[in-house]
């Protein structure tokens, strides 16, 4: 599928070369731009990689003007369906959060992660394509619930107390599906009383990706986790696909039909 006017395409990665291009993009964004700390192997390869990459699907936004295939990768998202995660033995999110309630509810869940976009393409058009691709993937695989780690900048909870408290007071997941930060990593998100927070301002000031999840009807889990490697504070985000707003459903129907077909 192409985005009108700018000729960007969205599809799943095809082959090792395109996955490596996504890993290289992740390295540029996470490590060179955002200050994450690479392992020696990552620094040597200029690539962000882990054991999950070999089993996940990699959604790509490609600019053909930069070159075909891997040469044109300007955006990526990593997707792992429940069946894949269960065969592999774990989900990435489980390294920071207890997701037993998420999995216990049954249904087809999907983990989202490693989302990034090249700085020159960081605009609404590119994000719309990524979400259109995700929407098509959700439909093709009958996904009921999406979840994953979403990051807030920095590792000092007091510096982002407003973000954490707003999420805790207004977007805490229902108890039956609520994940919780692992006990040895748990950071309390309830740092500012509810009555001292302006919810409109609280939403507006969130990072765009977190804000996007919430506008899709998303929830967050109980507690945050400091990720020193990535220089972030992580929250666990969930989106029930049945709660996606009418606005987004209409957008997906217009732009994402058959994006990933075939």
Q: Reduce the DSSP state of residue 234 to 3 states and report it.
A: strand
Give the containing element (helix H, strand E) for 255: helix 246-255
Helix residue ranges per DSSP H, 28-160: 40-45, 82-88, 100-104, 124-140
63-69: average pLDDT: 87
Question: Residue written as tokens 């302006």?
Answer: 198
Identify the residue with better confidence: 7 or 102. Answer: 102
State pTM to two decimals: 0.88
Q: What is the CATH number of the domain that holds 168?
A: 3.40.630
| Cβ partners under 8 Å of residue 101, min gap 6 | 175, 176, 177, 178, 179
Predicted confidence at residue 90, as pLDDT, reads 95
In a domain, 22, yes or no: no
What does the pLDDT average to over 115-123? 93
Q: Is the pLDDT of residue 93 over 90?
A: yes
- For position 4, what pLDDT does the model report? 42
Residues forming beta bridges with residue 113, ordered by sequence position: 78
Token digits of residue 259: 């994006």
Longest distance between any two alpha carbons in the chain, whole Å: 53
Among 81-90, 116-125, 165-174, which stretch is predicted with the lowest mean pLDDT?
A: 116-125
Question: Percentage of the chain surpassing pLDDT 90?
Answer: 76
- Residue 153 covered by a domain: yes
53 pLDDT higher than 70:
yes
Q: Give residue 197's domain range.
A: 77-255
pLDDT at residue number 251: 53
Cα torsion angle, 157, 185, 230, 113, sign: negative
Q: Kindly state whether residue 149 falls inside one of the protein's structural domains.
A: yes
The per-residue b/e assignment along 102-129, b for 16 or more CB within 10 angstroms, e otherwise, is bbeeeeebbbbbbbbbbeebeeeebbbb
Q: How many domains does the chain have?
A: 1
Asked whether residue 123 is domain-assigned, the answer is yes
pLDDT digits (tens, 9 = 90+) for 167-199: 999 999 999 999 999 999 999 999 999 999 999
The pLDDT mean for the chain works out to: 89
Range in 5-14, 16-25, 202-211 the model is least confident about: 5-14
Residue with the bigger pLDDT between 248 and 143: it is 143
Residue 232 scores a pLDDT above 90: yes
Residue 215 lies inside a defined structural domain of this protein: yes
First to last CA, the chain: 12
pLDDT-derived band of residue 250, with 50, 70 and 90 as boundaries? low
Distance of CA 256 to the CA centre of its chain: 18
| CA–CA gap between residue 22 and residue 8 (Å, rounded) | 16
- Residue 68 forms part of a structural domain: no
In a domain, residue 21? The reply is: no
The DSSP secondary-structure symbol of 253 reads: H
For 16, other C-beta atoms within 10 Å of its C-beta total: 10
**Residue 5: pLDDT band by 50, 70, 90 thresholds?**
very low
Measured CA to CA in angstroms, residue 170 lies from 5, 161, 180, 210 at distances of 38, 14, 16, 13
Tell me whether residue 64 is in a domain.
no
Examine the pLDDT at 74 and tell me if it is beyond 70. Answer: yes
């Amino acid at each position: 599928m192409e985005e009108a006017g700018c000729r960007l395409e969205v599809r799943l990665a095809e082959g090792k070369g395109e996955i490596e291009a996504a890993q290289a993009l992740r390295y540029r964004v996470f490590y060179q731009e955002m200050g994450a700390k690479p392992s020696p192997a990552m620094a040597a390869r200029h690539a962000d990689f882990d054991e999950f990459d070999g089993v996940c699907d990699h959604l790509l936004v490609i600019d053909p003007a930069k070159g075909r295939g891997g040469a044109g990768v300007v955006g990526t998202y990593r997707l792992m369906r429940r069946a894949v995660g269960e065969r592999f033995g774990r989900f990435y999110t489980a390294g920071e959060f207890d997701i037993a309630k998420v999995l216990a509810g049954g249904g087809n869940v999907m983990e989202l992660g490693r989302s990034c976009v090249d700085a020159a393409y960081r605009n609404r058009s590119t994000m719309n394509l990524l979400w259109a691709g995700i929407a098509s993937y959700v439909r093709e695989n009958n996904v009921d619930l999406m979840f994953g780690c979403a990051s807030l900048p920095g590792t000092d909870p007091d510096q982002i107390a407003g973000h954490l408290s707003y999420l805790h007071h207004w977007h805490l997941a229902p108890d039956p599906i609520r994940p919780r930060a692992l006990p040895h990593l748990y950071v309390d998100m309830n740092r500012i009383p509810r009555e001292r927070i302006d919810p409109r301002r609280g939403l507006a000031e969130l990072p765009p990706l977190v804000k996007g999840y919430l506008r899709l009807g998303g929830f967050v889990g109980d507690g945050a986790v400091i990720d020193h490697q990535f220089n972030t504070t992580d929250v666990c985000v969930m989106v029930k696909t049945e709660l996606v707003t009418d606005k987004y459903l209409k957008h997906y129907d217009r732009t994402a039909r058959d994006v990933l077909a075939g």
